A and B are shown apart, each in its own frame.
Chain A
Amino acid sequence: MTLSVSTTQEQATRPLVASVRDLRVHFETKAGVVHAVDGITLEIRDGETLGLVGETGCGKSVTARSFIRLVPSPPGIYAGGQIDFWSNEARQAKEGPIDLLEISDKDMLRIRGDRIAMIFQDPGKALNPALSIRSQVAEVFYQHRSEEILDALGPHVPRIVRRAAKQRTTSLERLFLRFPPFRSKAAQLRSIVDELVAQALSETQIANPRKIMDSYPHELSGGMKQRVLIAQALACNPDLLIADEPTTALDVTIQARILELIAELQARLETSVLYISHDLSLVKEICDRVAVMYAGRIVETGTTQEVFANPRHPYTRGLMAAVPSATHRRGQLAAIHGNVPELIEPPPSCHFHTRCPYAVDICRSMDPDTLSVGSSHTVACFAYESRDFGMPLPTLDW
């Protein structure tokens, strides 16, 4: 534990980028209200990579999408909590945070894709198959950088070109733009945007970006498509990048290249990253801090070193032991028995009690509190409680 104190202190002094407090996201279904995210608290500090790990259906993606309010509603409901976000500008101006769940849709539009960007899981599905790469990447600039682009066009820009720079033209107006007197300004606008797009693509080490710009998603390989998505996400130099399993659909050889790229761009642009993955070994490689999620709750957080060297929660232990490695004998993998429980209006309890080998009565009847077990290491398990509940506490025998 003493090993990581210095780095932890250094990290703790870094300013916050986002702080999630008691976030609850529910889904209304015929069977009842599903508590997909059931009161989670997270902090992301400037320039760090926070890994969010957990199994399918534990609420990782819903948490990530809550940051930019992409949870479909209905059936989704933000049932409580807040997500405070400090943009770089706000921090420099010594302003307070904004609550991403409270701001208007219009303000959200401005933040989404600009200050907070997201890389999605399946690059095949996240790109529009009917649009060229050029127009898909250009859209980011039209959305968030239209003022700067118009400034670059010089004074006396006709109104119709202004509208074009904000992608607000009608089809009739687009026809006008093809003829004098607007044609030259429209061409100038296009070339400025093309330049920005080419630059964004070349940042992701795509060879010959001008050629790629004219192609369509089906012409690119999975790794290339993911690079285009990264270019899109980082085009506006966001303060927070949310990467939702960005390499799950890719081969390991391509995965390593994409992760190198994200790490390099992160270092250069000083972006904070929320990295979501189900793959523990990946998270170990690339994250500074880890939060382990199970059934809508965070069961353990800490620096990567703390959590991997000394996992405290039975679930974290189980997950780590289940990864096949050279030391395992065949048929001797330590599987976690059972399945993730359904989260329809769960009673107060540790959600892991159905699969936990150490569960006792108290685990089935009360919500565990998040306890500190190290300088920045927290765990939500009754085994670490020092209070007296009048009931026996579980003992972990490792």
Chain B
Amino acid sequence: MTTSIAGLGTQEKTTAGRAVISLRGVEKHFPIKEGAMQRVAGHVRAVDGVTFDIRPGETVGLVGESGCGKTTLGRCISGLVPPSGGKIYFRLTDADAATLDDIDATPDDRRTKEQLAQLQRIDADHRIDQLGGKAFRAYRRNCQVVFQDSFSSLNPRQLVKDTVGRPLRIWKEASGQELTERVVSLLESVGLGRQHLYRFPHQFSGGQRQRISIARALALDPEFIVLDEPTSALDVSVQAQILNLLHELQQKRGLTYMFISHDLGVVRLMSDRIAVMYLGKVAEQGTAIELFESPRHPYTEALLAANPDINAETSEMKGLRGAVPDPANPPEGCRFHTRCPVATPICGWEVDDAVAWLGTHETILAGLTGVERRSNFDATLAFGDAAAAAAVGHQVENGDIPASMKAALESFSTDGNKVTLTFNPEGPVELEDVGGGHLTACVLHTSRRHRI
């Protein structure tokens, strides 16, 4: 964790001396409830340990497939859902950040009284779920959101004047004629005008509604805006208008953006730095140029390869096998290994992968009667008869098993109607700096490389 923080700090404009938003191991696990008693049967790990800083005036892009947790992370940062683990700080100074890293590096039981007091002070001053009174209101004012679907995020029964003027009214910034004038100037700043004041959202096109959302977010002159797929529901020509507008506003008002999108072209254009998310974790992060010119994670490469490019002479789009795994039960090791085209034996192969692979063969798992699972890496499959077990054995020995999965298999034995599979256990792959603040969580580029 400390490496990533240090790595991020180096390449930033450190003149400001503080970050706008600092994430430290942020987690959001949604409980899965079952049965009449609503017993918690497990957790969907939507966001599972994300650490990065957002500095003043920059745009941080967040990309990934649907279900990778990018929207949930955006909602955590904007305070719409409380994180279930980790900490989110607002306007953390670099000095405090360094103190915090020191404290985090110290084990819980060895922290000094002084450190604990400092931790308490920093949490009370900057941690968004512990802010009180005035500090919390300052956070709320300065952190706004523009949502993906402008139709459902604007109240259909409120006039544009009410929607855009509401923040000003709540903060008692303006009323009466002054409020109207403030709303008009906000609308003008997003390319709308006085004639739009007394209309309802349904009277606008998608692009115009998104402009209204932006005007509402700008009403209190915030420092930071979370843009959650602001253009994915729009046509390219309108998307271009909105992207230009967002850039112009950032230049004029010195805004800081977090830009969430699944469109790599858009993120590349808009972002200074990009974090690529996969299954709740950051797979790679770095500057936009580094990430696009020399990606250091196979997932980023796969995203780039799958993205059609209008300017390329000839490009071959390449897709990825399979679907995103279940976030309630994420894969061991590197979470991408189940779909990775260059997976190695140390990527964290486990019993579920073997079962999933056997499941692609039509009849082979038909005789399965029970599974005795000692860990994710070690299990015994029981079959109805010895022939079925032998068929599995034959498939593993001679079938089209992925070579890296086979190499990761520590032991494999068939005993009567039972098959025992044991894989080499692997821990999760953490982000590591591969130079100049470019972080990746791929074993091919990190310190585990020598074990391949």
B317: interface (CB < 8 Å): yes
Instruction: List CB contacts (< 8 Å) of A246-286 with chain B.
Output: 251-260, 278-282, 284-285
**Beta-carbon contact of B262 and A251 below 8 Å:** yes
Complex Cα gap A256–B315 (Å): 12
**Beta-carbon contact of B318 and A256 below 8 Å:** yes
Q: State which of B25-33, B233-241, B396-404 sits at the interface with chain A.
A: B233-241
Q: State which of A95-103, A143-151, A230-238, A322-330 sits at the interface with chain B.
A: A322-330
B243: interface (CB < 8 Å): yes
Interface size classification for chain B = 35 or more
Given A251-B65, A324-B269, check contact A333 B306 (CB 8 Å).
no
**Beta-carbon contact of A322 and B239 below 8 Å:** yes
Instruction: List CB contacts (< 8 Å) of B241-277 with chain A.
Output: 241, 243-244, 247-248, 251, 262-266, 268-270
A170: interface (CB < 8 Å): no
**Beta-carbon contact of A335 and B244 below 8 Å:** yes
**Beta-carbon contact of B236 and A319 below 8 Å:** yes
**Beta-carbon contact of B319 and A210 below 8 Å:** no
**Beta-carbon contact of B269 and A327 below 8 Å:** no
Residues of A within 8 A of B266 (CB): 324
Min C-beta distance of A135 to chain B, whole Å: 21
**Contact string against A for B residues 355-370, beta-carbon threshold 8 Å, 1 for contact and 0 otherwise:** 0000111100000000
B155: interface (CB < 8 Å): no
Residues of B within 8 A of A337 (CB): 241
**Beta-carbon contact of B319 and A322 below 8 Å:** no
Complex Cα gap A190–B306 (Å): 40
Complex Cα gap A259–B315 (Å): 14
A56: interface (CB < 8 Å): yes
**Contact string against A for B residues 194-210, beta-carbon threshold 8 Å, 1 for contact and 0 otherwise:** 00000000000111100
Residues of A within 8 A of B183 (CB): none
Complex Cα gap A299–B264 (Å): 29
Min C-beta distance of B263 to chain A, whole Å: 8
**Beta-carbon contact of B315 and A285 below 8 Å:** yes
Complex Cα gap A282–B310 (Å): 8
Residues of A within 8 A of B241 (CB): 335-337
B412: interface (CB < 8 Å): no
Which of A251, A319, A328 is the one whose CB lies under 8 Å from B237?
Answer: A319
Complex Cα gap A323–B324 (Å): 28
Instruction: List CB contacts (< 8 Å) of A115-164 with chain B.
Output: none
Complex Cα gap A223–B66 (Å): 12
Min C-beta distance of A336 to chain B, whole Å: 4
Complex Cα gap A322–B269 (Å): 12
**Beta-carbon contact of A253 and B302 below 8 Å:** yes
Given A324-B266, A325-B265, A333-B243, check contact A280 B307 (CB 8 Å).
no
Complex Cα gap A189–B303 (Å): 45
Complex Cα gap A252–B301 (Å): 12
Residues of A within 8 A of B251 (CB): 331
Residues of B within 8 A of A252 (CB): 65, 262, 264, 303, 306-307
**Beta-carbon contact of A335 and B240 below 8 Å:** yes
**Beta-carbon contact of A253 and B310 below 8 Å:** no
Complex Cα gap A258–B324 (Å): 15
Residues of A within 8 A of B207 (CB): 339
B188: interface (CB < 8 Å): no
B151: interface (CB < 8 Å): no
**Beta-carbon contact of A333 and B244 below 8 Å:** yes
**Beta-carbon contact of A323 and B306 below 8 Å:** no
**Beta-carbon contact of A256 and B239 below 8 Å:** no
Complex Cα gap A336–B242 (Å): 11
Complex Cα gap A210–B315 (Å): 36
A108: interface (CB < 8 Å): no
Complex Cα gap A398–B272 (Å): 32
Interface size classification for chain A = 35 or more
A320: interface (CB < 8 Å): yes
Complex Cα gap A257–B263 (Å): 17
Which chain A residue shows the least CB distance to B205? A339
Given A285-B308, A325-B310, A326-B268, check contact A278 B236 (CB 8 Å).
yes
**Beta-carbon contact of A320 and B306 below 8 Å:** no
Residues of A within 8 A of B270 (CB): 330
Residues of A within 8 A of B320 (CB): 253-254, 256-257
B181: interface (CB < 8 Å): no
B415: interface (CB < 8 Å): no
Min C-beta distance of A196 to chain B, whole Å: 17
Complex Cα gap A278–B206 (Å): 15
**Beta-carbon contact of A280 and B268 below 8 Å:** no
Min C-beta distance of B269 to chain A, whole Å: 4
Min C-beta distance of A145 to chain B, whole Å: 24
**Beta-carbon contact of A278 and B323 below 8 Å:** no
A221: interface (CB < 8 Å): yes
Given A285-B315, A331-B251, A335-B237, check contact A208 B265 (CB 8 Å).
no
Min C-beta distance of B244 to chain A, whole Å: 5
B136: interface (CB < 8 Å): no
Which of A211, A285, A324, A330 is the one whose CB lies under 8 Å from B317?
Answer: A285
Which chain A residue shows the least CB distance to B241? A335
Residues of B within 8 A of A224 (CB): 323
**Beta-carbon contact of A324 and B303 below 8 Å:** no
A-B residue pairs, 6 tightest by C-beta: A257-B319, A256-B319, A331-B247, A335-B240, A281-B310, A322-B240
Q: Could you pull out 28 A-B pairs where Cβ atoms are within 8 angstroms? A: A208-B360, A223-B323, A253-B303, A253-B306, A254-B320, A255-B317, A256-B306, A257-B319, A257-B321, A259-B317, A278-B235, A280-B310, A281-B309, A284-B310, A323-B265, A324-B240, A324-B243, A324-B265, A324-B269, A325-B310, A328-B269, A330-B247, A331-B247, A331-B251, A335-B238, A335-B241, A336-B237, A340-B205
Which residues in B have some Cβ–Cβ distance to A below 8 Å? 65-66, 205-208, 235-241, 243-244, 247-248, 251, 262-266, 268-270, 292, 302-303, 305-311, 315, 317-321, 323-324, 359-362
Beyond the given pairs A333-B269, A336-B237, A336-B240, 19 more chain A to chain B contacts, judged by CB atoms under 8 angstroms and listed by A's residue number, are A55-B237, A207-B359, A221-B323, A252-B262, A253-B319, A254-B319, A254-B320, A256-B317, A257-B321, A259-B317, A279-B236, A324-B243, A324-B265, A325-B265, A325-B311, A331-B244, A333-B240, A335-B240, A335-B241
Which residues in A have some Cβ–Cβ distance to B below 8 Å? 55-56, 207-208, 210-211, 221-224, 251-260, 278-282, 284-285, 308, 318-320, 322-328, 330-337, 339-340
